[in-house]
């Protein structure tokens, strides 16, 4: 199962400059998937992060995991990748147990693996693991909610 950028744009509403998944290598409906993000020196954030030593901002690596998760979730909602229905944004609700083990630098290809741990009502807990050059560069757990969700006190 491979989804290209065209199919990805049908599944999530993210666009330039914050669409951070280039293709999907695998999707197992309702369970997880593997996405790819190619990092080049032309990424605008490298201008400032950092001028002397370009490294990918950690928050954007978290965003990559969230976007792969959003793709997996949208895909399992439709049951197929029919064009037409642009999926509503899903909200990132919690970020936990995140570790950045190695810097991601220009030229790296990030393999972003996402596993759905638990669905409960509108909430989905997922686990993400990001690899570059066959090494784990980042991992963590996120909670994602449907667009109707507001955190209630």
Partner 1 sequence: MLEENEIKKRLKRMMVRRLELKVSPEEIKDDEPLFGEGLGLDSVESLELVVGIEEEFGIVIEETKRHKGKFLLGRYIG
Cα 4 to the center of its chain, rounded Å = 15
Q: Yes or no: say if 36 and 21 are a contact pair by the CB < 8 Å rule.
A: yes
- 120 forms part of the interface with partner 1 (CB under 8 A): yes
128 binds partner 1 (CB under 8 A): no
Strands of 14-134 (E only): list them: 23-28, 32-38, 91-100, 109-120, 123-132
Nearer to partner 1, 15 or 97 (CB): 97
The verdict on 149 binding partner 1 (CB under 8 A) reads yes
Cα separation, 108 vs 140, in Å, equals 20
Least Å distance, CB 120 to partner 1, is 5
Under 8 Å between Cβ of 92 and 140? no
Min separation Cβ 69 and partner 1, Å: 14
Active-site residue set: 49
Instruction: Indicate which single residue of 83, 119, 133, 147 sits in contact with partner 1 (rule: CB under 8 A).
Output: 119
Which member of 93, 95, 105, 136 binds partner 1 (CB under 8 A)?
A: 93
Q: 2, 59, 83, 117: which one contacts partner 1 (CB under 8 A)?
A: 117
- If 0-12 CB within 10 Å is exposed, 13-18 middle and 19+ buried, where does residue 71 land? buried
Interacting residues with partner 1 (CB under 8 A)? 93-94, 117-121, 123, 125, 143, 145, 149-153
């Amino acid at each position: 199962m491979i989804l290209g950028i065209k199919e990805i744009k049908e599944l999530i509403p993210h666009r330039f400059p914050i669409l951070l998944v280039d293709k999907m290598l695998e999707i197992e409906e309702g369970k997880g998937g593997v996405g790819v993000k190619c990092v080049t020196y032309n990424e605008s954030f490298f201008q400032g992060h950092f001028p002397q030593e370009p490294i990918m901002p950690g928050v954007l690596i978290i965003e990559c995991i969230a976007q792969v998760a959003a793709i997996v979730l949208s895909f399992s909602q439709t049951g197929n990748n029919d064009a037409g229905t642009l999926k509503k944004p899903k909200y990132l609700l919690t970020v936990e147990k995140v570790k950045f083990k190695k810097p991601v630098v220009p030229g790296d290809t990030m393999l972003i693996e996402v596993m759905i741990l638990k669905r409960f009502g509108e909430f989905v807990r997922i686990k993400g693991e990001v690899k570059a050059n066959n090494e784990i560069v980042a991992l963590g757990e996120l909670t994602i909610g449907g667009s109707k969700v507001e955190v209630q006190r």
